[in-house]
Structure 1
Amino acid sequence: MSFKVAVCQLKVTEDKKNNLTRAGEMIRQAAARGARLVALPEMFNCPYLSHLFPRYAESYPDGESIAMLSAAARQGKVYLVGGSIPERDGDKVFNTSFIFGPDGRLLGRHRKVHLFDVDLPGGLRVKESSTLGAGNQVTVIPTEMCPVGVAICYDVRFPELIRLMALKGAKLIVIPAAFNMTTGPAHWELIFRTRAVDNQVYFIGASPARDVRAAYVAYGHSLVVDPWGRIVSGAGEAEEVVLADIDLDLVEKVRQDLPLLRHRRLDLYSLAGNNFNGSDRWC
């Protein structure tokens, strides 16, 4: 079975309504070009700045970004991994990806599990935990095509989380992300190709477009990687809708030819869902 996916590499501004309008336009473009699954970038509705997240935060189900995502999925008849937005739940704010089906119904959500608290070379300091809470679930969404794993940006650096998705049946994993100009050139392509090879799945990295005038400059270069580690489609720095074909037969062929998952030595080591944050939490 094969199907088409799309990544909407959107330039994010401080104007929330403009971001939503542009995201909706790009989703419609992707649907018109045959995509059955569409992905948006991390924090697509607001600048990637920790202190701004509470200001832009929305609650489910009443938020305007959430309403736009549901309507766009329904109108385009696509599965939509809605990048991520700041989600308010009580007195907490989370970095959350909402995933909708072709009927506009919410299928699940992923709250970023690993918060990006770093001091990077060149003076870039980010502390997501100053305004965000951490999620606590492994997210695998059933679709008509195949199970789809969803995680957010820094989550991809933790191979245990991604392996749990593969063991739960994911054949495609989508990562809305905003790597920067330090981590992007060094690790973006490397880490997505590595995770695809290790887990023998298709991997999508959905980045914002680069805006050199922004306080936080995203790397761009959204990409789709196949289970053999080949980049089958990718963007540059600017706004772009990237399309790629997903061939699920290739997933099965790679897993048969190089049976990594079957060759795990479970007598020596294991990775069980109930070791994840003390409970078996699946979406």
Structure 2
Amino acid sequence: MQRYKVAVCQMIIHQEKEKNLVRAREMIGRAAKRGARLVVLPEMFNCPYVARLFPQYAESYPEGPSLQMLSRTAREEGVYLVGGSLPERDGDQVYNTSFIFAPDGRLLGKHRKMHLFDVELASGLTVKESSTLGAGNQVTVIPSELGDLGVAICYDIRFPELMRLMVLKGARVVVIPAAFNMTTGPAHWELIFRMRAIDNQAYFIGASPARDPMAPYVAYGHSLVVDPWGNVVSMAREGEEIIYAEIDLDLVEKIRSELPLLRHRRTDVYALELLAP
């Protein structure tokens, strides 16, 4: 399928998991009724973005209520669903994980956030994801009838090597559930998504929670879709809303043909390789 509609659900995140699940289900349904074939939720869509709370909200596949809702909703609405991310429990370890479902409800794959957000910003914001989360080690590209989808999470986008590896594995659309904050968001959000799209000549989709000034971690919002030429084709404001955009895979091929960055790489001089299994 060379053209299809994507929807990004920018939702307010509440303390109550069930409230988040009900809202996500409703927004996915609205997006499907508008013709979206691919629907994307935000990072940590089922819980507050607070590192110490992640283990309390963590779920294991397939029995977790959030995961069951995502699978069931993808099937009922007939959409490809990138379920934002949520705390995933695997044995004694918790990961920040994005689960991707097919229109028949099958799990197509998952991405565990590779780069953990451990920062102390001059604004006073301190986050240490590694205090409760483990790091993934897989480059995630999901084959589908919509084309190969690259999936990563938030801080991962700041590492251009990972983005390029996804594209070299075939991704023409890269989906990033992300919760930039009120320091990094105004400075880097739009800039970094546009630059990664230009570097890799691919669509880049950023799915943020809506901004809640009363939350312990205030997300920037401004979910967006950027085309392979670096144009922002759709962008949300700060509050809760669904944005839509058309993905045109022919445009990806046109731009890569006219400005063949990937073919012009000097692989005789430098190389990028995946060392992890």
TM-score interval, normalised by the smaller of the two chains? over 0.9
Q: Where does structure 1 differ by over 4 angstroms across 4 or more consecutive aligned residues? A: none
- Letter of the 1:131 partner, please give it: T
2:139 alignment counterpart: 138
Matches within 5 A, 1:52-71: 52-71=53-72
What is the number of residues matched between the two proteins?
276
Cα distance in 1, alignment partners of residues 80 and 262 from structure 2: 27
2:115 alignment counterpart: 114
Q: CA deviation at 1:121?
A: 1.6
1:8 alignment counterpart: 9
Cα distance in 2, alignment partners of residues 200 and 231 from structure 1: 13
State yes or no: 1:254 paired with 2:255.
yes
1:213 alignment counterpart: 214
1:270 alignment counterpart: 271
Cα distance in 2, alignment partners of residues 145 and 50 from structure 1: 34
Cα distance in 2, alignment partners of residues 74 and 5 from structure 1: 17
1:199 alignment counterpart: 200
State the secondary structure of the residue aligned to 2:233: strand
**CA shift digits 1:1-41 (9 cap, x unpaired):** 21000000010010100000000000000100000000000
Cα distance in 2, alignment partners of residues 269 and 242 from structure 1: 39
Cα distance in 1, alignment partners of residues 90 and 9 from structure 2: 27
Identity %: 72
1:187 alignment counterpart: 188
- Letter of the 1:195 partner, please give it: R
State the secondary structure of the residue aligned to 1:170: coil
RMSD: 0.5
State the secondary structure of the residue aligned to 1:149: strand
Provide structure 2 residue ranges, at least 5 long, that are not aligned to the other structure. none
State the secondary structure of the residue aligned to 2:192: helix
Cα distance in 2, alignment partners of residues 272 and 90 from structure 1: 30
Q: CA deviation at 1:199?
A: 0.3
State the secondary structure of the residue aligned to 1:253: helix
For normalisation by structure 2, the TM-score amounts to 0.99
Cα distance in 1, alignment partners of residues 60 and 85 from structure 2: 13
Cα distance in 2, alignment partners of residues 38 and 95 from structure 1: 19
Cα distance in 2, alignment partners of residues 91 and 145 from structure 1: 35
Provide structure 1 residue ranges, at least 5 long, that are not aligned to the other structure. none
State yes or no: 1:175 paired with 2:170.
no
**CA shift digits 1:34-74 (9 cap, x unpaired):** 00000000000000000000000001110000000001100
Cα distance in 1, alignment partners of residues 184 and 73 from structure 2: 32
State the secondary structure of the residue aligned to 1:197: helix
Q: CA deviation at 1:122?
A: 1.2
Q: CA deviation at 1:125?
A: 0.2
2:125 alignment counterpart: 124
**CA shift digits 1:103-126 (9 cap, x unpaired):** 000000000000000001211000
State the secondary structure of the residue aligned to 2:156: helix
